[in-house]
């Protein structure tokens, strides 16, 4: 009998398949966090984008919500194996936030209120792939789901969609974030089951 290594995950599912391998569908929205839920008041909230040269742009709540709004409907996939289909969000595209930012960076390190970090290639934040979301399911984004605002990168496992986002640092070199430094996969593609280092 042949032995199949843990790194073998077979063929990708056919086009149109919504559930990545190893996942199950849920209708709920489980709450998982690396620590306590920060309670950030909107009048104290800020988001900064800092480039590799130190240039920084900052938006307060009024500034963010004055930008063009988008309402993406996306599927979510958590590394703990649940998937939730057709989630409805409201927020600002990273394309809008980065439109006038001059950078040679290839990576981003995202920081949250509460100290959480995650790393993402810059290409995965642009071209309609990511948002700063502040609304969910027709209402405000609840603190337990990352409110007042979170990063939303739905094509990667959900730990990459940092809750309580406060800064996006653009970097020339990659720097692992919280879960990546603890052994999770550096990229996190649900369709390739990139849960842990070596997957």
DSSP assignment of 70-134, as one string? B--EEEEE-TTSEEEEEEEEEEEEHHHHHTT------EEEEEETTS-EEEEEGGGTSSSS-EEEE
In the numeric block, the tokens 């995950």 are attached to 9
Closest of 43, 178, 165 to residue 97, by C-alpha: 165
Record the tokens describing residue 133, joined without a space: 């979301």
Predicted local distance difference test score (pLDDT) of residue 4 = 37
How much is the average pLDDT of 13-17? 54
Residue range 43-192, CATH number: 3.90.420.10
How much is the average pLDDT of 150-162? 98
Question: Residue 41 pLDDT > 50, yes or no?
Answer: yes
Cα distance between the two ends of the chain: 23
Mean pLDDT of the chain: 91
pLDDT category at 31 given cuts 50, 70, 90 is: confident
Percent of the chain with pLDDT over 90: 84
Query: Which DSSP category does 35 fall into?
Result: S
Q: Which residues, 6+ apart, have CB-to-CB distance to 14 below 8 Å? A: none
Predicted local distance difference test score (pLDDT) of residue 16 = 58
pTM (predicted TM-score):
0.89
pLDDT category at 15 given cuts 50, 70, 90 is: low
């Amino acid at each position: 009998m042949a032995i199949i290594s843990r790194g073998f995950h077979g063929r990708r599912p056919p086009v149109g398949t919504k559930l990545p391998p190893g996942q199950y569908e849920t209708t709920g929205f489980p709450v998982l966090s690396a620590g306590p839920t920060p309670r950030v008041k909107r009048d104290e909230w800020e988001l900064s984008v800092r480039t590799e040269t130190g240039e920084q742009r900052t938006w307060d709540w009024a500034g963010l919500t004055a930008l063009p709004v988008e309402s993406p409907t996306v599927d979510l996939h958590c590394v703990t194996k649940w998937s939730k289909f057709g989630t409805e969000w409201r927020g600002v595209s990273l394309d809008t936030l980065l439109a006038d930012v001059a950078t040679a960076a290839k990576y981003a390190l995202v920081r949250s209120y509460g100290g959480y970090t995650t790393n993402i290639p810059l290409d995965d934040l642009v071209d309609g792939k990511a948002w700063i979301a502040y609304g969910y399911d027709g209402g405000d984004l609840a603190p337990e789901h990352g409110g007042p605002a979170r990063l939303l990168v739905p094509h990667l496992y959900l730990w990459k969609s940092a809750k309580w986002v406060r800064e996006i640092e653009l970097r020339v070199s990659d720097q692992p974030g919280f879960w990546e430094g603890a052994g999770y996969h550096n990229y996190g593609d649900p369709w390739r089951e990139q849960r842990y280092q070596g997957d």
